[in-house]
Amino acid sequence: MTLIAIAPKLVSPVPMQRARGEGRVTTQLLDGKTRLSTLYQEDAAKIRLPHTHDKSLQAVLMNTAGGLTGGDHMRWTAEAAPGAHLVLTTPACERIYRSLGTDATVETRLTAKAGARLDWLPQETILFEGARLNRRIEADLAPDATFLAVEAVLLGREAMGEAAFAARLRDNWRVHRGGKLIHAEATCLSTDRIERDSISLLAGNLAFATILYVGADADRRLETIRALPDHPGVGSSAIGEKLIIRALAPSGLALRRAIVPIIAALSGVGSLPRLWNI
C-alpha cells in the first residue's frame, strides 16, 4: 500500500476593512472675502464649510470612520489663493486606536499663495494604548504668506486613567517659504519609558503640542505671547520670520488651557474656530 501525504489547504486570511479618505479644498478671493473655489471629498473624508463672521473661509475636516487604526490612510490638501485667508480645523479630537501591527497614516499638504494666510488648527489627537500613527505635514508658502500650524497630542484618555505606554508616533513636518526649506522636524515616540520620564523629553507628561507661526511680524508676535499668563511647560522662541512654541502638560485639559490663549493671539481673527469651544 502506498501512502500519499496531502498537504493541508492554506486559507488566506480575510483582508480587514480599512478606512480611506481624501479631501481637497481650494479658495479664491472675491470682493475682499475668501470664497470656495473647489472642493473634493472621497470615502471617509468629508469637508464642511460653516458660516463665519469675518472675511476668512473656514473648512472643517471630518473623518467619518470615527477614528483611525492600523492600515487606515487619510489625505488632506488645501490651498489659500493670493490674498485669501483659509482656516482649517476638525469637529473634535481625532482618535488613533490600537493597531494590530501597521501604522495609521495621515498626510497633509498645505499651500499659501502670495499675500495669503493659512491657519492649520486641528483639535488634539488622542493616542490610545497600542496605537501607531505616521503623520506628515508639508506646507509650501509664498515669500509674503502667513502660516499658523498647531498639532497637539494626548497620550491615552485622562478620564480612564490611561497613559498609552504602548503607543507609537512618527510626526514629520516640512515647511517651505519661497521655495526654501525653513522648518523641518521629526518627532518619534516609541514605547521606551525613558522618553516619557526623561526631564529632557516628556518628563512624565501625558500631553504635548507644537505651535508654528511664520510671518513677517514673528518678533512682535513673540512679545505678545510672552505677555500672556505664564504656564509651566511652555517655551517659545523666534528666529527671523519663524516663531515656535512647545508645550508640555500633565493632562489634556491643562494643555488646552495653556495653548488656547496662544493660538487665539496668533490667529488671523483673534479667536479659535467655534468648534474648539463645543
**161 or 34: which carries more pLDDT confidence?**
34
Q: Are strands 73-80 and 104-112 parallel, antiparallel or unpaired?
A: parallel
The number of C-alpha atoms within 13 Å of 94 and in the hemisphere containing its C-beta is 28
The SS3 of residue 254 is helix
Whole-prediction pTM value? 0.92
Domain boundaries, the chain: 21-277
Using one digit for the tens of pLDDT, what is the confidence trace for 87-127? 999 999 999 999 998 999 999 999 999 999 999 999 999 99
Grid cell 504602548 is found at 166
CA distance 252 to 100: 26
Q: Which of the four pLDDT bands, split at 50, 70 and 90, describes residue 12?
A: very low
Let me know: does 178 contact 142? Beta carbons within 8 Å: yes
Using one digit for the tens of pLDDT, what is the confidence trace for 37-51? 999 999 999 999 998
CA distance 95 to 42: 20
Let me know: does 85 contact 58? Beta carbons within 8 Å: no
